[in-house]
Structure 1
Amino acid sequence: MVKGEIGNIFKVAFLYMATIIGAGFASGQEIIQFFSMYYAGGFFGIILAGLLFSIVGYVVLNKVYTERISSYDEFLFPMTGYFLGRLMEFIVMLFMACIMCVMVAGLGNVLAELTGMEYRYCVAIGAAATLLAIMTNIKGIVTISSFLSPVLIVGIIFVGLYILASKDTSVFNISEKARVVTNNWVFSAILYVSYNTILSTVLMTRMLPYLKTGRVGKWGGIIGGGMLCITALVLNSALYSFYPHSIISEIPVLGIIQNNSRLLSNIYSIILILAMYTSAVTAGYCLTERVSTKMKISYKLVAAVICAVAIPMSSLGFSRLIATLYPVFGYLGLFLLFIILFQFVRSQVSPGTGQRRGSSPGKS
């Protein structure tokens, strides 16, 4: 494995992770809703989710490489057929629109708190910054993700370890019952992977130019899933030590550290901004690419319209979205997840199946 190949593997892994480590992850809301609430089972759930993320990344990226896939349609429709493919496509686009609107709203909230500016102006700034990144197309998205993903991982792990080292539940004076997503940690982990697979698959089907060899795709997916697992385990350990007190905050991690360290609170606010920005850009890019391709409209025009519409639409509650809307898309995305897992099982039983006739995947 040459040096350049290793660099591409981590570039692909970080881009894969960028679609998952959004504001819901970094804030702690996703971890609490889908894992911490199951106590010890939550840790097993994270390990299961990490394994599934690795499998999904491995299967999708390997399929993109071996079959020379360059669009979501080429990946989806041969596996689902026309009707189910169209239905899945509608779900994907709706989910991407929801994610972008909520992340732009989140950017506005955190920016307003940090700067003291009016919320509406901060939302407009967040939408404009998102538009600038979307305009750079996939190359710019890869560059942004390659830089921001490592920063997010290091920042989240550092803050998680800090919380564990300086645990002080006196910062809370309320305890309340949180809503349970499902009745067991196994299905909760599956739902978590399911709705995250909706967006990540769209982006991964655009990554063929970066898959120079088969190993880049395979190991990019595996390493991406593994790093997600480690990061989530650290964050869950921190949140679990404060449960159920940690559920009272809209942004649990920030709620834990803001009374312990003002400096760290400001630093983590920046991390949250980066996480929200990464999610908004990724969702916005995928949605823009889908709409412009399907409707044969200028990519830049679609990007501008989507970002403009996101400003008035960015009014959904953050924790409510994660507790209600995310599980809904988790159920809707189960079909796609099961198809991908079926592809993995079939490839293990019959190696070499699924490669497009006449393709030239090269050596791996």
Structure 2
Amino acid sequence: MFAGAGSNLSQQFNLPFWVGTFGCAMLTILVSFMDFKKITRVLGIFTPIIIVMIFIICAYTFVGKTYDYEALDTVAQTIKSPMPNVFLAVINYYSLCAISAVSMAFVLGGSVVRIGVAEKGGLVGGTVIGLIITCATVTLFANIDNVKDADIPMLQIVKNISPVFSFVYSLTIFALIFNTAFSLFYAFAKRFAGRNKKKLRTVLCISVTIGFCLSFCGFKNLVALMYPILGYIGMLLLAVLLITWIKEKKNILAENLIRKKMIHLAVKKYDEDLDYTKKDKALFHRLGEKSVVDTEEIKSEIKNFVKETGTENLKPSEPESQSQSSDSANN
């Protein structure tokens, strides 16, 4: 990521390579000292921006234009690929995307109280990413003869559209590179430090320094070497995740039900129109003990979620409410 940041600013603004790498590394360290939830909200702004930009670039490439695809394919065949065939390349790249996102997905997914929301978020996000990759791929192929030697091919295409658009696109790409870099380094440090903020920042600073030094191997060289390797590792990771999901499906459903019941009880506690009894309080605690998350942590998260969301937005329908009350009583 740091190497990509360096290549991005170097290709667009003719800055020394180290300026982009150093800037991205320093931002990664500085942002780690800020509030995590606020950071994720800010970083999320750039995602819809780049989605719109990719669609604009794709539309500009194909609307009202035709291409000699046989000639383009001939040019594409001259580009050396580390993968033996296109099918394995697609799977490898998908696995690479998964391995780069899964660590932060665990961090973000773990902060979502309602499991169903996390599942829907994954479905929507995966669909959008699929569309973006498809648009980017066909756009790059249509311009393969002009971008085959560029460090960041899409930026080269944008330069031919408009200098202003190219400027904005470059800054957006830098922000997204930083977004990815921070997500990866933060998630890595989080695994070692847990809730110890001082240790987290120490691990993050050390790992960022190592990453900064390795970035001088060159962006294209690192991509050619590391992307296929990480892709193969990603394949193993996806296999492990699939097997684990199949084995733990019942436990996931049980955890989902536990959280729904806890939310229902928390709504009763904070809604003045509902009665929250001692039995409800005891049941809320027992459900917290059954959760896979630490008892006090899940109780606190549920309460904060209900307070922030508002009881009016979480009240179930009458039949559902009666059903949940019946289930709670039975348990």
Do both share a fold (TM > 0.5)? Answer: yes
Partner of 1:304: 205
- Partner residue in 1 for 2:34: 136
Deviation at 1:137, TM superposition (A): 5.5
Q: Percent same amino acid among aligned pairs? A: 22
Residue 169 of structure 2 corresponds to residue 268 of structure 1: yes
Shift of 1:337: 0.5
Q: Could you give the per-residue CA deviations for residues 163-219 of structure 1, whole angstroms, max 9, x where no partner exists?
A: 3337699xxxx9571123434443322212222222322112222564232320110
Distance 1:122 1:358 in 2: 44
Q: Is 1:283 aligned with 2:181? A: no
Q: Please state if 1:248 is matched with 2:149.
A: yes
Q: Name the counterpart of 1:48.
A: none
> Which residue, out of 215, 234, 246, partners 1:333?
234
Structure 2 residue 45 is matched with structure 1 residue 147: yes
Q: Counterparts in 2 of 1:132-211, with a 5 A limit?
A: 132-136=30-34, 138-165=36-63, 175=75, 177-208=78-109, 210-211=111-112
Provide the rounded CA distance (Å) in 1 between the counterparts of 2:255 and 2:211. Answer: 42
Amino acid at match of 1:187: L
Aligned to 2:315: none
Cα 1:239–1:361 shift into 2, 3 Å: same
The superposition leaves residues 303-332 of structure 1 with CA deviations (integer Å, 9 ceiling, x where unpaired) of 333333433332132233223311111112
- Cα deviation 1:45-73 (Å, max 9, x = unaligned): xxxxxxxxxxxxxxxxxxxxxxxxxxxxx
Stretches of structure 2 lacking an aligned partner (at least 5 in a row): 68-73, 264-331
Report the CA distance shift for 1:207/1:354 in structure 2 as closer, same or farther (over 3 A).
same
Is 1:324 aligned with 2:225?
yes
Superposed counterparts of 1:214-253, under 5 Å? 214-253=115-154
Distance 1:234 1:206, change over 3 A: same
What is the CA–CA distance in structure 1 between the aligned matches of 2:39 and 2:105, rounded to whole Å? 12
Task: Give the Cα separation in 2 of the matches to 1:357 and 1:227.
Answer: 28
Distance 1:138 1:167, change over 3 A: farther
Match of 1:74 in 2: none
Q: Distance in 1 between matches of 2:109 and 2:75?
A: 48
Aligned residues of 2:82 and 2:224 also touching (Cα < 8 A):
yes
Question: What TM-score results when the alignment is normalised by the length of structure 2?
Answer: 0.66
Aligned residues: 258
* Distance (Å, rounded) in 1 between the aligned partners of 2:158 and 2:218: 22
Alignment check: 8 A CA contact 1:288 1:299 kept: yes
Larger Rg belongs to: 2
Deviations 1:83-116 (Å, cap 9, x if unpaired)? xxxxxxxxxxxxxxxxxxxx22322333345555
Contact 2:159 2:166 (C-alpha < 8 Å) held by counterparts: yes
Contact 1:104-1:311 within 8 A present in 2 as well: yes
Deviation larger for 103-112 or 226-235: 103-112
Question: Is the CA contact 1:292–1:298 (under 8 Å) kept in the aligned structure 2?
Answer: yes
Query: Are residues 188 and 117 of structure 1, via their aligned partners in 2, closer, same or farther at CA, if it must alter by over 3 Å?
Result: closer
RMSD: 3.5
1:116 to 1:320, Cα distance in 2 relative to 1, 3 A: closer
Q: Give 5+ residue unaligned stretches, structure 1.
A: 1-102
- In structure 1, what is the Cα distance between the partners aligned to 2:213 and 2:115? 43
Q: For residues 114 and 239 of structure 1, do their structure 2 counterparts lie closer, same or farther at Cα, with a shift above 3 Å needed?
A: closer
CA distance in 2, matches of 1:236, 1:121: 29
SS at match of 1:352: helix
Distance 1:283 1:137, change over 3 A: farther
